[in-house]
Structure 1
Amino acid sequence: MKLTDKQWEKIRDLIPDGEKRADGRGRPWRDKREVLDGILWILKTGAQWSHLPATFPPYQTCHRRFQQWQEQGVMQKVVEALARDLYKRGGVDLSECFIDGSFCMAKKGGSAVGKTKRGKGTKIMAVTDAGGTVLSVSVQSASPHEVKLVEHVLEERFIAPLPVKLIGDKAYDSDPLDENLKQQGIEMVAPHRSNRKKKKTQDGRKLRRYKRRWKVERFFAWLFNYRRCVVRYEYKEENFKAFILLACMLILLKQFMR
């Protein structure tokens, strides 16, 4: 897949050019747009780097630039810039946000990998706004309960303002979590588990919001259209998250194409 001219104009200044050597020697850097298109082909197809078609720059070049951009935090900066722009234009609704997590099998192990009944894997956590626009993603071990992963994904958000209400499924029914979020000005809305022993803290009126939780599930459906995000093949969690952020970049860019 390749970016359209309109999409490229939106992010071109956020993608750094290759640094030139002080002595002027060495080969010239390949065009950064061509390299990014090659990386996005890997993201979309889930193929190995060595299978990159000859229509793109050499796979070694694309892989090397991917590593450089990941280490420089380029993907994070691009997504944050797009999210901030959208927020300033009134395209983000924080009145109610949705949270969920999705398990990814980790084929090669590595950091942020944990054991579960489904095998070793990583948990992708995400928060979206009232319209389903992604506001935060994090990559964490799949072993801990999702309740313990909430605050970390909030810390990884793309914009500074916090949600007013955060809506999740029964996995987020936790009085300590409710109290921690309340101290940050966030109201947690989640159905009670059937085995809950303490008194109920939610009422039916608030839980009507739960019916709109499909918006965060839709985000994961969009995310997993990019096959490199479906199964984790990267040993380093930073590399896997870089692919997740690239997918988020493409999803956010669609907001500017309307």
Structure 2
Amino acid sequence: MVVVDGTGVPIGLHVASAHPHERTLAEATVRTIRVPRRRGRPSTRPNEVVADNADDRAALRSDVRRRGITPTMPSRERRNRQRPKRGRPLRTGASYQHRWTVERCFAWMDTYRRLVVRYDRHLHSSRAFCLVAIMLWCVDRILK
């Protein structure tokens, strides 16, 4: 699981086995957030976390609020009560409209077959390859 900033650059990464549901991994992923600053150590509290409706849990919302972060995600109750017409997303606020940057980051990571198929047996080697792929992507963005 990856956390990205507003421009699509990864700022947090959590690698786990394929067995647990991603909803249970969301809290651990939010704890890996490191927002770089000009001076001092990185901040672990961004202003807002935008997540999709699969991550909507009371425990995640309370954990994020306790850390001083605003959660933005469509609620599951609202999703079941109000079915949007085809092609129209659920309305959750202005910042949820920028979720495409997260999906773009996932699509970029899917270009690396080793990340998609996950040939590695151990988590530490899979995490290392994710970090190498992120570094290559950041260097490519700097050079363009």
TM-score by length of 2: 0.77
Q: Which residue of 1 aligns with 2:70?
A: 187
Distance in 2 between residues matched to 1:168 and 1:151, nearest whole Å: 11
1:149 aligns with 2:19: no
Mark the runs of 5 or more structure 2 residues left unpaired by the alignment. Answer: 36-41, 82-90
C-alpha distance in 2 between matches for 1:144 and 1:217: 21
Residue 50 (structure 2) aligns with: 167
Query: What corresponds to 2:15 in structure 1?
Result: 139
Larger Rg: 1
Corresponding residue for 1:220? 106
Q: 1:243: Cα distance to partner?
A: 0.9
The offset of 1:215, in angstroms, is 0.6
Counterpart position of 1:88:
none
1:196-207 correspondence to structure 2 within 5 Å = 204=91, 207=93
TM-score (norm 1): 0.45
Q: Would the aligned equivalents of 2:17 and 2:123 in 1 still touch at CA under 8 Å?
A: no
Quote how far apart the aligned CAs of 1:154 are.
2.6
Counting aligned pairs with the same residue, the percent is 36
Find the counterpart in structure 2 of residue 96 from structure 1. none
Deviations 1:171-204 (A, max 9, x none): 12222211111110111111122347xxxxxxx5
| Alpha-carbon distance in structure 1 between the residues aligned to 2:7 and 2:140 | 14
User: Quick check: 1:234 aligned with 2:120?
Assistant: yes
Deviations, residues 218-249 of structure 1 (Å, cap 9, x unaligned): 11111121221121111111111111111000
How big is each residue's C-alpha offset from its partner over 1:120-158, in whole Å with a ceiling of 9 and x where there is no partner?
Answer: xxxxx0111111111111111333333321221233334
State the one-letter code of the partner of 1:164: N
> Out of 97, 117, 133, which is 1:247 matched to?
133
Q: Deviations over 1:25-73 (max 9, x none)?
A: xxxxxxxxxxxxxxxxxxxxxxxxxxxxxxxxxxxxxxxxxxxxxxxxx
Report the RMSD for the aligned CA atoms in angstroms: 2.1
Q: Tell me what 2:95 maps to.
A: 209
Structure 2 match to 1:127: 3
What letter corresponds to residue 152 of structure 1 in structure 2? A
- The aligned runs of 1:23-172 (5 Å cut-off) are 125-159=1-35, 160-161=42-43, 162-172=45-55
2:9 partner amino acid: T
Q: Secondary structure at the match of 1:141?
A: coil
| Structure with the higher fraction of residues in strand conformation | 1
**Partner amino acid for 1:163?**
P
